[in-house]
Structures are given as C-alpha cells and as structure tokens.
Structure 1
C-alpha cells in the first residue's frame, strides 16, 4: 500500500479507515523530567485486540543513527470503548491501560512506529524501516528536522510539542471537516478523544493523608470520582504487594459509591506483629472497574515501616567498634604472600583475589541484594548506610527512575568512566548468589559489578561526585570523613584485582588510572578498618569468593604503595604491629575531656584531624586529657609499649 505522509483520507462514522491502528497522541516530554510521558493509540473500532502489533521507538540523534532503542509488545492489550489505548508511566492520569517506566521515550528528534511484526523482528539498533509499518510519527521538542529519519519512515513532517513545565503539550491528531488528519500541539488528553467527542469516561482517584505509616496505625483510603455517579458503583480494591497481604491489615476492600454521590472511603488498621519482615509497601489498586468508570490513578504505594528492626552488635563508621566481627577468611588464605616483596608480592596477592578457579562475578543487578546486606545500617536492619553522607536510608528507597531526591543507588568508588568498564545486557538480571561468571585478573568488565568497590550512596551525592578523583572530591562539607579509609581500601583493592587499573599520584585523565594515591594513603592510615568494614568483607566474600586484603591485612598497603615498599612481607609482622591493646577512651562523644582506661602503665596519645594532620601529643597519660579543640570528628592514636590503637572520637 502506498503511504501518504501527514495527510490521511479518513472516513469516520460510516466511512472506512486506511489503517486499523494509528498514533493518536504522543507526549514524550511532560514535564521536563519525563515522568508523565505516554503514547496513545486509536483503533478503527472500539475494544480492538492489538495482538500481532508492536511499537518501535527510534533514536534520531547523531549517535543514535535513526536506529531502534526500545520495542514494546502490544500482544494481550485491547483498546477501550472509544478505541483508545494509552501506554505510559504510572504518573499519567487517567491511568494508562499499559505501563512503561518513566523517561523511556526520548525527546527528539526521534520517532515511533506501529508495526505488524514481532519483538524479535526488531533487535536493539535496528535501522528504521517501512517494512510492515502501519503508522509512524517523527517528533521533537523544537529540534532540527531529522530528514534521514523522515525518509526512512516515509514521512514528510516532523512535529514538535512546544510544551513547557508550566504549560505541558502533547502532539495530537485531529481530523477536519474534509476528513483530513493533521497533528498539532495541545494540552494532553490521555484516554479522551482529542476533539472532546466519544463516550465520556469518569475517572476515580485514590488518596491517603500520608504515604508512610508505622505498624499498629489506623488510616483512611479515600476514593473520589470526577463526576457524580448516576447509579451505585460497587468495586473491589487490593493492598497486596509481595510480602504485604491480608494478614498485615484489617479493613474492608469491597466498596460502594452511592448514586448521587462521588466519594467513599475505607478504614485500614495495620497489624503490629513481632516479626522483623523489613519495611514493606502496600500497593492500593482497583481490581474490577468497568468502563466508562476508569482509574484516575492506581497502584498507589504506602510504605509500612516495620518497628521490629534489629541492631547489630557493632557500630557504624561514625561510631566504630573494633574486634567484634572476626574475619571469615579461610586458614592460610594469604600464606602465598609471605616472604615476598615488590612486584612479586603484588602478583601473589592478585593470584589470590583474582583466582579464576574460585572467584565469582555477579550481575550489576545482583549488587543491589549484596549492598542491602553488606551496607546494612548497624543501627537499623531496614536501612543501608550511605557512604559519603554518613547516615542510614531505608532499603526501599533504592533509585528506580530518573528521580533521585531522597534515593540511594550504587556508587562505584573507582568510577566506571575512569576504569573503562561498563555493564552488558545480562547485567540487568538479578539471578542470585548461585548464578555467576567465573572471573580472572583480565576480566576488567567484571569491575563494573565488583561489590568490594561498590557502595550504597545518596543518589544526588553520587551525581555530585561524578568521576572526580579522591582529593578533588572529599565528601560533603558537613560530614566527618568516616568513609575515607573505606573508599581508599576499596580502590586500592581494584588496582590489585584487575589488570589495567592503577591508583596514581595526582589527577590523571588516562583511562584505568585513579588519583590521588597520596590522599588515599593518608585516608587509609587515619581511618583503619573497623567492624563495619570487616562485616562487609565477610558478606562479599560469601558472594564473590574473594576478599579485600587491605581490610584483613591493612599493613600490606605500606608494602605495596607506602613506607615499606621493597621490604619483605610477613603476616606475623602485620599481626604484631596491629595488635590492639586493652585500652578505651570515654566518654564518646565528649565535651572536650576524655578519660583513658588502660593496663597498669602510662599511655602516649596523639590527636589527629580526620585528614591526618597531627594536632597535639600527650605523653604518659595516666588519667584524662583535655583536648581543647573545636567540635568535630578526630582520631586518637594510643600507644602502649609496642602496641597501638586508633580510635575515632567526636567532640560536641
């Protein structure tokens, strides 16, 4: 069939169509964060099954090359009583019949086409084609015209939505009195005819006073229709979502809006059980609305905060403890490093932590599960501890869309762009601890998902750090630097684990290199491994079957990069030099005076800033010392005979 671009001969209301399915409306940019984007299709007749059709989205940018980047299968979907089918994000109202994540559709110059084909016919980066094309729309947001994409799809006009955040627009199809179809930018009208015709729908909204409740709380769910009901409306709802179900609440889920009214509500009582199930999410959704009654919004999520969280016996990095969590390294794990120095020591260490016979690599999606366990907040088992930001955040607040405010995500301490590693399609599948790749020193791609160098981080702070070198980036100004030794040891691990990675002085712009080595050595020395870090090492070992040696053997850093380069390494030296004396400092936090409990001998105490600067020295302390410093986090190095202990202390 010869396709006539932009102008169709449409015979409506008694006339025949030239197509069974068309693009009726497109909004790829509402608002600028693309959280309310959608595409609306229209069928020749209502209640039309779209089996055998797909949507294909094409990237018209210079890097995209007019190739496909996303395919959506229309199998199993049906248009509504007006012949409309909306596919969009959960933020679109009225609620779409089919869902896609936020920010999937690119803003332009790009295109979308309906094809009578299968998903397998369009692997990623398939060049735009007219083969089996049913309808197409080339669009943009006042972008330069993509003449190549227009030609490939047999189109002649690129349409712009011309919208703003305050005045959003969508590209809509209209038919004039001569049955000629054109597109123009108008206020979005999802699930409604663009010209206001058709059968009127009546959307019902779901609302609650809060989006978070604790256990043993009573709250109301309100339901309001857009227009008054002319007859009783009976409908059912569900709150079930994964582990949250009817055993977790009491309340009526069979509801009625009476004729002549436009609202109803139900009271929900959350059950306070004694189980540590973790925070859960109730998902309020309609089960059986019948058109023209439709959902205005749906799948409304309510967080249920579990009050039965557990507290670990060890402290957070801000309030560290030492010696509570033992290493789970196998006996003799590092024996092959003994008696070696220089390059030979480094190679022996790599042979252990990159042993292809034992070391495992998991997917980037699996890392979320690993971090939920390894970075768990010691003070609250329902939270992760955020590196850099030095605080807990609910595990449920993992970033899943472009919106990152108050969210956490996976931070590469050795940035991907500097390491030269990235993910592949298989990395998007979380397949658990028992499914893995074998990995070796040359498997640089696996650096993308190596949990030893990935941390839970505030999503906005992760963006702020970007790919800055350490030293250029020193964390948020208001934090105390409790993360510094942790990240130093994680990137030093990467430099040993993978061929092609190196930690160097300065701020290089060479792929594979990360700085600043001098800064990282100071961070390592002044923030020694604590129980939080050892627990983390143990958990990751359970997944990856390798360890970060600089947590188990912190002195080894000096023999590879520091003050003992060239000296012969012996594990017995590390044990003796790092033996912790029986000594404690209290109170912590303190107003300035601290007492020292010790053996029957005096203690020498050095006071350091968190960046490693020696501030004061106290000799032969036998009772207390007055620090006389400003509020903040400091390090105390306590020396008894040949033993030392480094402790963090907070001055209020």
Structure 2
C-alpha cells in the first residue's frame, strides 16, 4: 500500500518539474519609471545551471505580429540557493543576477518563453512557436486577450499584471499542496519565494550622500544590511569603470559588517591629478558577497568631475571666431568644379562628396563617438555643444534610456521621416573608424548615420522639434539662432550627397523633401561658417572621407540654389567674395546692446553718426557691446588690418 501511495506522488512531482525551469514571477510594467521590471525563473534544484536556455519575448501588438523582439542568453548563469534567477532592470530590489536595460520588457498583450535553444534561433521578428519551448507565460496589463498569441505559445490563459504606482503588482506562480499550479497578481517578491518559504536572504544596500564629486574631494560609502548579520560578513567593493580605476582614488574597499551589526562605512578620496581625462563615472559594486547575503542594489554610479578640461582657441557658435581653423581638404579637392554651372556643377559636386572609391559610411552608433569629438564645446573639452539650445552639456549625459531630462542625443537635421531613411540592426554596433561601409549617391540608407547632418542636441528639444521643417521650427525662444547657418548647410549638403533628397520652398509632405528653402538660404547668408563649423567639418572628414562643401566654399550655395544659379563657378570666388558676409550685427534695431559675429580680438570698431561724426571707438571689447548711444541711425566701421567692413545700426 505504501508503494501505491508514493508512486503517484512521485509521478505528479515529476510532471511539475519536467520543464527543469519555469517562469516563477513576471513584472512587465513597474508604473511611472519602468526601472524595476523583471522576470524570475525557478529551477527544481538549487544552484541549477541555465546553460543552453534562452528567454524570448514576443510582441503581441498589431505592429509586432506576435513575433520576437528580445532574446536573452542564459548561458553562464545559475539559480540561487532557492532555485531562483532574476532577470531585471536597474532598480529591482534585491539586485537581479542578470541585468537588462530599463523599460525593455513590453507591457502586453505579450508573451515570454523559456526555450532550450540558441540565441541565433530567434532573430528579431521570429513568429512565436512551441518548438523547443520549456515554459511560457502570456500576459497583459489590462489588455484584451490575444487569442492568436495564446495559440502560438500553446497556452490557454492570459494573466494580468494590473499594478499601479501606489500598489505595484507582479504575476506570480503558486503551487499548492496538491501540486496545482496557479498564477495570481500580488506584491512583487523578486529573489524570494512567492509563498514566503525558502532560505531567507539578507540584502546589502549601498548609499552615498551625493552622486557627483570633483577630483580631490572625499565621500563616504555606507553599506547596510536589511537585518542584523549572525556572523561577520566580509566582502569587497569594486569602484572601477572604463577609465576610472584604482589609481584614481584612495580608501579601503575590503569591508566587514561585524556579527550582530548591520552596517559599515568607508571613506574614499578622489585623486586630483593634472591629467585631462575628462569627466568619469565610478561604479560601486559588490564583488564577492555570498548567499544568504546578496546585493540589495549594485552598480551605484558617482560622477567624478575633472577640472583639467581644455579650452579651444576658437569660439562657440554664439561667440564665433573666424580663420583660426583651416580646412583640411586635400589639395585640388574642388578643382573639378571650375568652369561648370547648373546641373553639371551639381553632378560634379556629388561626384566628390559621394565618390564610392573614397567616401565611407559609419554606423549610427559610431556617430556618438564622432559627435563627442566634432561637437565638443570649445570652452570645455568635457562637454558637447548643443545645437538649437546653444549651450554645453557633459558628454556623460548622453541619453541611454527613456528619461531625456538634462540629456543629449543625436539630432537629424534632415529628419529621418522626411528623408525616408532609417537604421538597420548593424547600425547599433560602434565598430570604430576603421570599419565602414562603402557608399555612393544612391545609398540613401546611409543618410541615417551621416555625421555632416547629425548634431548633438538637448534630448527634450530634439523631441520638441520632431520632424518640423525649418521655418516652422526656428529654435527655442530666447536663443541667438547661432545654429541656423549650420543646419542650413547640413541639409543642403544632404540634397547633393544623396539621390532622392530635395530641399524645397514651403512645407511639403512628400517623402524625400524638406523645407523651407527660402528660410534656409536666408539662414546660410546671415550665419556664415565659423571656426567651430570648420573644425567640425575637418573631424567628420577623418571618419567619412568627405566634406561639407558649403562650409569650405560657402558661395557655392548661391550657384546651386541662390542668386548665381546659371553662372559659371570658379573657385577663386569662394573665399574672398565671402569675407564681408561673415560679419553679422544683431539684434537690429537695438536698444543699445549688440553682438557682432565674425570678429577677432584685434578688430578695431568705430561708430559714426549718420552725419559722419566719430562718436565711439572700441578696442579690447567684450561681447555684447554696450554702446550707450542716443536713438538714431549709426554706421559701424570694423577694421582688421587692411580689411574694412561697414554695417548700419539703428538704436531705438
């Protein structure tokens, strides 16, 4: 009789664990921040190797087509003493054994499956399947039931997360005394058994007072256990991260929480060296804690400000300089344009900047590295200069998640949706300057990563601009518009560089067209190329082996779109005839305060009344110029060496 009773129980248990690995808990939507999403797996035995398993996430939306959007390789991981393995985002507590990006798990109706397969078996867009499926969960966050996805995954129930900010929920697996399996929504319990059983863990939390310090300063790291420890807990911290290493700080990182206690602190001093390393981020993480002690949080980041930044000899776009940065164009680069006009001139120019034997295309990920150099703030080498908002922003503040506040990202001056180009999977790989695609005039897709038309921009302002045409979009209120000539030349470059693009008058809805041409010509004429833009052109040329000709030869714009269309181009006209237009006085009219772009420090400024009397002379000036003159019409005479430029000025 005993054998008859034991055998059925053994069979039931075997059936429950025939999968080896099951989905034990899922929180696909941590409301508000989406930084605490996770999936928890459970194995029948503790410390189970997940080699050979993968997690595949499927998009059940109409656009997703019940196909895969994310695959996570579980090779190299093991479940813990309770048989649990948490795959989660940065704010999951206790900290996940497998870290994934924030906000990467979609809300639903979607599905996730454990497969005994290889990552390559599920390229992005693979239709959901039961082939090699170990366990699956179809879920939603108050979504309609996706019957097709249920069928594809071999499931009959779609479970609802139904969490809120004040009442977070996760979908949890429960098994009763009769081995009946159910899923319910309850308060999340990552890395703890859903029913409260199992070996109790004791998470350690890292705290610091601030998230930013300057070289030479000290700060304390405090480690606190959730409950008092029952024996000495000895562990090490690691602060290294990319360029930041043990040479950049002093302080003890081998720590002990004494028996009966729950906390320990250490003081770290940041080394103040003379190297221009740029701002860095140290990352505090546990190296060797042993269960039941586990990390509560981890990879806590602190920004280390380097005060050894460099300042370039040229100005920012709002305080421009000219003729200090020389073009690095090869000798004879534009010679083939001479004596040409109209379509022949256009074609010859395209033959230069889209030459498949010379020009290279980099990935969209490479553009980040290009912009960090090309858009470097002349006043602080640790920052990028932001187009539109006209300010510096730390290079470290690149947007990497959904939060765009205070971040910068890559702005397409020729919007992707207007141009009809987009990225591909290979664009996500930053493979460096020496790995590239060959490209030609018909390679429109490469417009997505063409650095001549990509700029560092405030992420929120980039979102506000959207895909508006220029003229519709004129920049943020209160800025000087120093970007206008720059973006004009970048989008005009795109028309010549890629077949299928055109800058036109008005605000068209046709794919491939961008407006407004009249506005952009005006911007080009009133904001000529400066040293910042020339330096940028030189750097992009190093990567792409082509240049923006409208920076090197700004008068070319008139011969292709402007006042000289139909005239024969000769290179000798390009620089000398354009010198005078580099001087811009604004605002006009003014109440007495003006800016003058295109000046160098040795320019002599004289102000004459309308009847020719000298009323003011300025040397060693600073911008803006405070003229303190009565209302009326005045003439500014600007002299540098033998060159003299005059401008009218109206004071209200």
C-alpha distance after superposition, 1:421-453 (max 9, x if no partner): 111111111111111112111111110100000
Compared CA separation, residues 272 and 341, structure 1 to 2 (3 A): same
C-alpha distance after superposition, 1:550-588 (max 9, x if no partner): 1111111111111111122122122221235999999xx
Distance 1:517 1:469 in 2: 10
C-alpha distance after superposition, 1:196-240 (max 9, x if no partner): 111111100001011111000011001001111111111111101
Q: Does 1:592 align with 2:593?
A: yes
Compared CA separation, residues 286 and 647, structure 1 to 2 (3 A): farther
Distance 1:598 1:286 in 2: 54
Alignment of 1:296-315 (within 5 A): 296-315=296-315
**Which residue of structure 2 lines up, in the alignment, with residue 287 of structure 1?**
287
**Which residue of structure 1 lines up, in the alignment, with residue 89 of structure 2?**
89
- The secondary structure found in structure 1 opposite 2:417 is helix
C-alpha distance after superposition, 1:579-598 (max 9, x if no partner): 35999999xx9963899999
Distance 1:12 1:91 in 2: 37
Q: Does 1:27 align with 2:27?
A: yes
- The secondary structure found in structure 2 opposite 1:23 is strand
Compared CA separation, residues 10 and 23, structure 1 to 2 (3 A): farther
Compared CA separation, residues 581 and 157, structure 1 to 2 (3 A): closer
Distance 1:349 1:303 in 2: 46
Aligned residues of 1:58 and 1:68 also touching (Cα < 8 A):
yes
C-alpha distance after superposition, 1:606-651 (max 9, x if no partner): xxxxxxxxxxx96867553886799xxxx989699997769999x9
C-alpha distance after superposition, 1:241-272 (max 9, x if no partner): 11111111100010011112111100001110
Deviates more, 1:200-209 or 1:618-627: 618-627
- The secondary structure found in structure 2 opposite 1:222 is strand
- 1:175 is displaced (CA, Å) by 2.1
Alignment of 1:9-24 (within 5 A): 17-24=17-24
Aligned residues of 2:607 and 2:614 also touching (Cα < 8 A):
no
Aligned residues of 1:315 and 1:531 also touching (Cα < 8 A):
yes
Q: Does 1:318 align with 2:310?
A: no
Q: Show structure 1 runs of 5+ residues with no match.
A: 1-8, 606-616
Deviates more, 1:201-210 or 1:101-110: 101-110
Distance 1:636 1:116 in 2: 78
Compared CA separation, residues 371 and 569, structure 1 to 2 (3 A): same
- 1:603 is displaced (CA, Å) by 7.5
Distance 2:199 2:341 in 1: 81
**Which residue of structure 2 lines up, in the alignment, with residue 364 of structure 1?**
364
**Which residue of structure 1 lines up, in the alignment, with residue 229 of structure 2?**
229
Alignment of 1:433-444 (within 5 A): 433-444=433-444
Aligned residues of 1:249 and 1:268 also touching (Cα < 8 A):
yes
Distance 1:262 1:396 in 2: 34
- The secondary structure found in structure 2 opposite 1:229 is coil
TM-score by length of 2: 0.90
**Which residue of structure 2 lines up, in the alignment, with residue 213 of structure 1?**
213
Deviates more, 1:336-345 or 1:487-496: 336-345
Q: Does 1:70 align with 2:70?
A: yes
- The secondary structure found in structure 1 opposite 2:240 is coil
Aligned residues of 2:59 and 2:68 also touching (Cα < 8 A):
yes
- The secondary structure found in structure 2 opposite 1:431 is coil
RMSD between aligned residues: 3.2
Compared CA separation, residues 197 and 525, structure 1 to 2 (3 A): same
**Which residue of structure 1 lines up, in the alignment, with residue 187 of structure 2?**
187
Q: Aligned residue pairs: how many?
A: 625
Compared CA separation, residues 638 and 557, structure 1 to 2 (3 A): farther
**Which residue of structure 2 lines up, in the alignment, with residue 5 of structure 1?**
none
Distance 1:222 1:200 in 2: 23
Aligned residues of 1:233 and 1:257 also touching (Cα < 8 A):
yes
Q: Does 1:499 align with 2:499?
A: yes
Compared CA separation, residues 256 and 86, structure 1 to 2 (3 A): same
Aligned residues of 1:601 and 1:622 also touching (Cα < 8 A):
no
Distance 2:402 2:97 in 1: 22
Deviates more, 1:331-340 or 1:316-325: 331-340
Aligned residues of 2:150 and 2:157 also touching (Cα < 8 A):
yes
- The secondary structure found in structure 1 opposite 2:572 is helix
